[in-house]
Amino acid sequence: MPCDDTAMTDLRDALRVKPRADIRLGHRDPGDTSGWAKDAAMEQMAKELDRLAELQDRLWAEAKHPVLVVLQGIDAAGKDGTIKKVMTAFNPQGSPVTAFKVPSAEELAHDFLWRVHKAVPRKGEIGIFNRSHYEEVLVVRVHQLVPKSVWSKRYDLINAFERHLVETGTTVVKFFLFIDKDEQRARFQARYDDPAKRWKFSMGDLSERKLWDDYQAAFDDMLDKTSTDIAPWYLIPANHKWFRDLAVSTILADTIDDLKPEYPPVAADVPKDLVID
């Protein structure tokens, strides 16, 4: 159970970004836990993972509904950790993970959504995007890779793209993981100090950290302009990894449960009682 009655709030409702909500991350608490205490959250998390495992099994067997999970957040916000902790509930053959890095020459020769559309999950799959098409209004904006006249039009193009996905059967679930600058510093330091994790550290991380305020402004606009009724963002306070994992697993399980996936009927030629020699 949560540590008090206030935590009984539906996390989907509490953390959903309403359309045109005028989000300002600087006014939000990345350490908020919606009233949950760590021990209770971890106990509930185990239950949510069991629920996700069963839901994914039914979704895969039924093969009717694609589910797209989008993970965004600043460096060290916990995208990889969320995949490692939450998506461990899934059978890998039905939950492909796509990490969008610097576009290749072939990808740059197409429109910016071309490589994204190719990676959208098939029916029955839960596809996970580790970063996504939203880099086109984040890193592209912050580093001025294209003029504002180009990237500013992409909000509407992204909304239209996601509407197309939803109207053709895909459920889109978008999680923005947010931490504060002190927490990012601590995670970078821990990454550097751990010999088993130092390979993940890059001096480029520190260069990006200097652009913190620019990224915060880009995140604010992204959340404000692209959280829609059919493809909302969920704003996940992620200073506490245990709460991040609880929130993502609960919201994702509730969303998939709404699809009511069911195992397909047994084939007509299979008898009700069969003893196999």
Residue whose pair of structure tokens reads 């679930």 in the numeric block: 173
Q: Of the candidates 182, 252, 243, which has an alpha carbon nearest to the alpha carbon of residue 33?
A: 243
User: Pairing relation of β-strands 126-130 and 97-99?
Assistant: parallel
Walking along the chain (277 residues) 10 residues at a time, the average pLDDT comes out as 51 96 95 97 97 98 98 97 95 95 94 97 98 97 97 98 98 98 98 95 95 98 98 98 98 98 92 87
pTM of structure: 0.94
Residue 37, Ramachandran bin (φ over 0: left; ψ between -120 and 50: alpha; else beta): beta
Q: How far apart are CA 179 and CA 238, in angstroms?
A: 5
First to last CA, the chain: 48
Overall CATH class of domain 28-258: alpha beta
Domain ranges of the chain: 28-258
Q: What is the pLDDT of residue 133?
A: 97
β-bridge partners, 126: 67
Q: What is the pLDDT of residue 268?
A: 85
Q: Are 1 and 43 in contact (CB under 8 A)?
A: no
Q: How far apart are CA 159 and CA 144, in angstroms?
A: 22
Residue type, 88: T
Q: What is the pLDDT of residue 71?
A: 98
Q: What is the pLDDT of residue 5?
A: 41
Q: Are 141 and 151 in contact (CB under 8 A)?
A: yes
Q: Tokens at residue 266, please?
A: 């047994």
Q: What is the DSSP string of 237-265?
A: E-SSHHHHHHHHHHHHHHHHHHT---PPP
In the chain, where does DSSP find H-type helix? 11-15, 38-62, 79-86, 105-108, 114-118, 139-142, 148-151, 154-167, 181-193, 203-209, 212-226, 241-258
Q: Is 189 exposed, middle or buried (0-12, 13-18, 19+ CB in 10 A)?
A: exposed
Residue whose pair of structure tokens reads 């200097």 in the numeric block: 210
Q: How far apart are CA 61 and CA 261, in angstroms?
A: 9
β-bridge partners, 96: none
Q: What is the pLDDT of residue 224?
A: 97
CA dihedral for 23, 27, 32, 34, sign (positive or negative)? negative
Other C-beta atoms lying within 10 Å of the C-beta of residue 102: 8
